[in-house]
A = this chain, B = another copy of it.
Amino acid sequence: MTFMKRRSFLTATAAAASASIAAPAFAQSEPKLNWRLVSAYPKSLDVIFNTATMLADHVRVLTNGKFNIQVFAAGELVPPFQSADAAAAGTVEMAYMPPQYNWGKDPTWALGSSIPFGLNTRQTNAWLYYGGGNDLLNDFYQQHGLYGLPCGNTSAQMGGWFRKEINAVEDLKGLKLRVGGYVGKVLEKLGAVPQAIPAGEIYTSLERGTIDAAEWIGPYDDEKLGLYKVAPYYYYPGWWEGQSLIYTFVNAGKWKELPPVYQQAVRVACEAVNGNVVAHYDHENPQAIRRLVANGAKLRLFKKEVLDACWNASNEVAAELSSGNANFKKIYDSQVSFRRDAYLWAQIAEAGHDNYMMSLQREGKL
């Protein structure tokens, strides 16, 4: 795809400059702006790709057409994993990316996406907006020339597609699993062999037996890859992504230059989009899981023995990552401290209600 070079600095249109004679403060604060955003997602992941489009639409309408954000899909301008880097460098003004894509540079980046056995979606928002989480993460992003805004969540993910059942911890030994980053480190402790494979090659890798299992996202997105045909055991929960947060990153210098009214447009739009994406997945996933099971997917719950081993391994990895990495330790400790009482409260009104409703579903009464 081609694109035109656009001015990425603050520019006032002729109309605004003219109006400024009559009302200078007004015109100064609402310049015509054209920004570019690179998404780390392809258009085929329509829900999380459209998140950035929704953000851009909101901002455009909120600013009466004056602040335009042009959205580019993964790879159109820069490779997906370099999205945040491109915003930090000023190549573009904005990036839409799960922070964990930068895991290789510093494991602290993973904490802006999820930790194994971490908070769920709602708890993450509580930690971000009221528990100081977003501020802590931004102290880190600031060190890398970025300002970050929480802007979407896949919610709890599935554990992925397996060619064979996992009946015991030993079954993880030697298992070639398409999974990366933080959880890869955890699974290595249990003898699994994490594999880095692009999305487009997962199907054939499973079909040929080059790998034994692959994790992706959740029913709606997974369905498109058709993995149930080659690896029918669909495990849950995705204990490494009880939620998976996505950030909109803005070049730190550009963010500071942005008029307050535009900053607020981006802030409020991101907050709206952050919840809207979850609602979108919550609308699509129930239908997708029905179709997947009808097509042959076999749902399997990870056994407690397996989860316990993964929990222990996760704590070992977290301790290793915390040692000698002050940024990681500070943010991780904050999440874990919030997690304690969050899951105490979660058991009462919410789980009390949901558990009864789910029992009605199993009894065929809904």
Contact = CB atoms under 8 A, between A and B. Distances in A.
A237 B282 contact: no
Given A349-B238, A354-B346, A360 B117 contact: yes
A260 B345 contact: no
Per assembly, the copies of the chain total: 2
Contacts of A44: none
* Contact residues on A (Cβ < 8 Å of other chain), bracket: 35 or more
A340 interface: yes
A286 B342 CA distance: 6
A164 interface: no
A58 to B, nearest CB: 5
Nearest to A127: B283
Contacts of A122: 121-122, 155, 278-279, 282
A2 to B, nearest CB: 31
A347 B361 contact: yes
A302 to B, nearest CB: 8
A326 interface: no
A155 B350 contact: yes
A233 B57 CA distance: 50
A279 B311 CA distance: 26
Nearest to A271: B272
Nearest to A366: B340
Q: Which 10 A-B pairs have the closest CB atoms?
A: A275-B275, A237-B352, A126-B282, A130-B283, A237-B353, A286-B341, A271-B272, A286-B345, A125-B279, A156-B349
A354 B351 CA distance: 9
A130 B280 contact: yes
A60 to B, nearest CB: 9
A341 B304 CA distance: 26
A133 to B, nearest CB: 10
Interface string A266-310: 001101101110111011111101100000000101101001000
